[in-house]
Amino acid sequence: MKFFKSLTTGQRTIALSLGFMLVLSIVRLFTNADDITSSGTISSTLRVATPILLAGLAGVWAERVGIVNIGIEGMMIIGTWFGGYGAWKWGSWAGIALAIVAGSLIGLLHALATVRFNVNHVVSGIAINILAAGTTEYLSIIFFKGQKGGGESQSPAGKGGYGEFDMPFLSGGRIGSWRSPDILGWIEQKHDLPLIPDLAGLLRGLVSDIYIPTIVAISLVPLTAFILWRTRFGLRVRSSGESPQAGESLGVPINRLRYQAMAISGGLAAFGGAYLSCVFTSTYRQGQTGGQGYIGLATTIFGNWTPFGVFRGSILFGFPSALKFRDEKNVPALLLVIAVILIALGIVSAMKNKQMLTMGLFIGAAVSAATYFLVDEVPQEFVAATPYIVTILVLAGAQQQLRPPAHAGIAYRAGENH
């Protein structure tokens, strides 16, 4: 434990990632569920996690400036509609751009309600969610009904593509018309070896069959971290969420910052919605977000209001969904993964003399392992609910280590004594 605590944050992340991959590798060898570490599952995880990641980043920008954004789901809904409309009229990239503009306007609307009129942040967010669902349904009737392939609940198919990425030599990408060797793919096929094919599958999943919008979304993680923690603008944004009175006393324009940050938040959330309608399916469908805005908000909390924490959370929440989409028969293997992780956490808890927590973790591990061995087939309903169950468990386990921005969600009027 002392050695682990002496490591830097980056070194801890690498050590935990390798440990998790080792657990997955052992479970793969034991269960023959080869797909849990395949490159296809990894690339699928990135695709599934992208809307959640963008929603989580939207939450980071909002709450770091002091505004609780429950309306992320509604902003994503707006993004799906305008993304589908733009893709139908002009192409996928135009749809994404149109969605970002529309989402930014909704973000400004939320800022107007909470900053100018001092409306409760949660009430304003819920109102946006309700209005977004009704507005998009009404717009669909006006613009999509009667069009070829369209209707009251969906748009016609979008035009144009968005591009995919394959790395030459590592994942068999093309150089001109020549297809290069697939080195990582060859290593990945050595299923009888531990860890090595799993790491090859992980690396290949990161450099094969990746959508360009996914690369753009992932690049926003270090960009957000740089802006919020390495620039004067970011320092002012964080001061608005921590102590707006202190920031205002130093000449920081708190209200203007909140409008700016909420425009960014709304644009990011709408980008996540447009990803679903422009990239994932190339068609807008009513109810397309499926609550991913709320999962994104949960990711913001789990990630401790930091961009890289949100990225880790989105991968964690996206992995069960990706595994479900790839092959539902591999989902039960997650029960053994959970059991091994709970045992490891139980050992750590025992070393800290936390007896009640240790007992609970070992009981959970026993239940998870027994479920795997005793149940022949996991119910379809459980498979569909896996991402949401993971969300609840992770938030319940991480709540003691969370530190939200001190002034997030608290009413504030610039220029007044507080």
**What domains lie within the chain, and their CATH numbers?**
39-173+195-323 (1.10.3470)
> Is the distance from CB of 273 to CB of 79 less than 8 angstroms?
yes
Cα(267)–Cα(270) distance, integer angstroms: 5
At residue 155, the 3 state secondary structure works out as coil
Say how many CA atoms lie within 13 Å of 270 toward its Cβ.
Answer: 30
Can you give the pLDDT at residue 417? 54
Could you list the mean pLDDT of each consecutive 10-residue stretch along the chain, which spans 418 residues?
66 79 87 84 90 97 96 97 95 94 97 94 96 95 91 88 77 81 87 85 87 93 96 95 90 93 98 94 91 91 91 86 72 82 83 83 87 75 66 61 84 69
> Is the distance from CB of 55 to CB of 346 less than 8 angstroms?
no
Q: Are strands 174-175 and 178-179 parallel, antiparallel or unpaired?
A: antiparallel
Confidence (pTM): 0.91
Tokens of 146: 């009667």
Cα(9)–Cα(166) distance, integer angstroms: 30
DSSP 277: I
> Is the distance from CB of 241 to CB of 407 less than 8 angstroms?
yes
DSSP for 218-252, please give it: HHHHHHHHHHHHHSHHHHHHHHHHH-HHHHHHTT-
Can you give the pLDDT at residue 5? 66
CB within 8 A of 334, min separation 6: which ones? Answer: 36, 320, 323, 386
